[in-house]
Amino acid sequence: MTQTPIEVKLGGGAPAAARRRRKKLTLDKASFMVVFLGVPLLIYVVFVISPFAQAVWYSLTNWSGFSPKMTFIGLDNYVKLFQDDIFLKAVRNSVILGIFLPLVTIVLSLILASVVTIGGSSRGQIKGLRGSSFYRVVSFFPYVIPAVAIGIIWLMVYDPSSGPLNGILTGIGLKGFASYPWLGDPRTALIASMFVIVWSFVGFYMILFIAAIKGIPAETFEAARIDGAGRFRTLVSITIPLIRDNIQTAYIYMGIAALDAFIYMSVLNSGGGPGNSTLVMSQRLFTTAFTKGQFGLACAMGVVLAAVTLVFAGLVFLVNRLTGGSKEAS
Amino acid sequence: MSLKLSKKAQVPAGHVERTAQTTKSDKTVAGISHVILAFWSLLVILPLLWTVLSSFKTSSEIFASPFSLPANWSFTNYVTAWAQAGIGSYFINTIIVVGCALVIVMVLGAMCAYVLARYVFPGSRLIYYLMLAGLTFPIFLAIVPLFFILKNIGLLNTLPGLIIVYVAFALPFTVFFLFSFFKALPGEIAEAAQIDGAGEWRTFFQVMLPMARPGLASVAIFNFLGLWNQYLIPVAINTNHDHWVLSQGIAAFAGQQGYAVDFGSLFAAVVITVIPVFIAYLLFQRQLQGSVSQGTSK
* CB pairs A-B closer than 8 Å: 334
Predicted confidence at residue B159, as pLDDT, reads 94
Residue B71 lies in a domain: no
Q: Which residues of A touch B119 (CB under 8 A)?
A: 11-12, 18, 21-22, 33
Residue B73 lies in a domain: no
Is the confidence at residue A12, as pLDDT, over 50? no
> Is any Cβ of chain A less than 8 angstroms from the Cβ of B143?
yes
What is the arithmetic mean of pLDDT over A109-133? 77
Residue B213 lies in a domain: yes
CA-only gyration radius of chain A, Å: 25
Same domain flag for B92 and B42: no
Residue A324 lies in a domain: no
Residue A321 lies in a domain: no
Interface of B with A in 103-122 (CB under 8 A): 108-109, 111-112, 114-121
Residue B64 lies in a domain: no
Q: Which residues of A touch B67 (CB under 8 A)?
A: 164, 167
DSSP string for A214-251: HTS-HHHHHHHHHTT--HHHHIIIIIHHHTHHHHHHHH
Distance from CA of A121 to the nearest CA of B (A): 6
Residue A229 lies in a domain: yes
Of A119, A262, A290, the CB nearest to B30: A119
Residue B85 lies in a domain: yes
CA A81 to centroid of chain Cα atoms: 25
Structural domain including B208 reads: 79-296
DSSP string for B209-262: HHHTHHHHHHHHHHHHHHHHT--HHHHHH---GGG--HHHHHHHHHHGGGTS--
State pTM to two decimals.
0.85
- Which amino acid is residue B137, in one-letter code? F
Contact call for A33 and B66, based on CB within 8 A: no
CA-only gyration radius of chain B, Å: 24
Contact call for A208 and B296, based on CB within 8 A: yes
Reported as a pLDDT band with limits 50, 70 and 90, residue A87 is very high
Residue A53 lies in a domain: no
Same domain flag for B147 and B251: yes
CA A225 to centroid of chain Cα atoms: 35
Q: How many domains are contained in chain A?
A: 1
Of A205, A119, A170, A243, the C-alpha closest to B38 is A119
Angle at B215 between CA B209 and CA B216, to 5 degrees: 60
Reported ipTM: the value is 0.84
Residue B105 lies in a domain: yes
Residue A34 lies in a domain: no
Interface of B with A in 159-178 (CB under 8 A): 164-165, 167-169, 171-172, 175
pLDDT in tens, chain B (298 residues): 333 433 344 444 445 544 445 677 778 888 888 899 999 999 999 999 999 999 998 888 888 888 888 888 888 889 988 988 889 999 999 999 999 999 999 999 999 999 998 888 888 888 888 888 888 888 999 999 999 999 999 999 999 999 999 999 999 999 988 988 888 888 888 888 888 888 888 888 888 888 888 888 889 988 999 999 899 999 999 989 899 999 999 998 888 755 566 888 899 999 999 999 999 888 888 777 777 766 544 3
Residue B280 lies in a domain: yes
Predicted confidence at residue B6, as pLDDT, reads 39
Is the confidence at residue A330, as pLDDT, over 50? no
Is the confidence at residue A307, as pLDDT, over 90? yes
Contact call for B50 and A141, based on CB within 8 A: no
Residue B108 lies in a domain: yes
Contact call for B199 and A36, based on CB within 8 A: no
Residue A184 lies in a domain: yes
* Distance in angstroms (rounded) separating the CA atoms of residues B15 and A279: 48
Same domain flag for B12 and B137: no
Contact call for B200 and A28, based on CB within 8 A: yes
Predicted confidence at residue B297, as pLDDT, reads 44
Same domain flag for B41 and B89: no
Same domain flag for B49 and B84: no
* Distance in angstroms (rounded) separating the CA atoms of residues A243 and A209: 8
Mutate to test the interface with B, among A35, A125, A138, A204 (most CBs of B within 10 A): A138
A250-259, A288-297, B178-187, B286-295 — which is least confidently predicted?
B286-295
What is the arithmetic mean of pLDDT over A82-86? 91
> Is any Cβ of chain A less than 8 angstroms from the Cβ of B273?
yes
Of B210, B221, B213, the C-alpha closest to B289 is B221
Predicted confidence at residue B21, as pLDDT, reads 55
Q: How many domains are contained in chain B?
A: 2
Predicted confidence at residue A112, as pLDDT, reads 92
* Distance in angstroms (rounded) separating the CA atoms of residues A76 and A60: 7
> What average pLDDT does chain A have?
84
CB distance A188 to A218 below 8 Å: no
* Distance in angstroms (rounded) separating the CA atoms of residues B12 and A130: 7
Same domain flag for B164 and B233: yes
CB distance A227 to A169 below 8 Å: no
Predicted confidence at residue B234, as pLDDT, reads 95
Predicted confidence at residue B298, as pLDDT, reads 39
Interface of B with A in 29-48 (CB under 8 A): 29-30, 32-34, 36-38, 40-41, 43-48
Counting residues of chain A whose pLDDT is more than 90, the rounded percentage is 42
Q: Which residues of A touch B225 (CB under 8 A)?
A: 144
Please, which contacts does A282-288 make with residues 24 or more away whose CB atoms are closer than 8 Å?
Answer: A282/A94, A282/B138, A282/B140, A283/A90, A284/A86, A284/A87, A284/A90, A285/B140, A285/B143, A286/A262, A286/B140, A286/B143, A286/B232, A286/B235, A286/B236
Q: What is the CATH number of the domain that holds A253?
A: 1.10.3720.10
Predicted confidence at residue A264, as pLDDT, reads 95
Same domain flag for B50 and B104: no
Q: What is the CATH number of the domain that holds B148?
A: 1.10.3720.10
- Which amino acid is residue B201, in one-letter code? W
Structural domain including A248 reads: 91-281
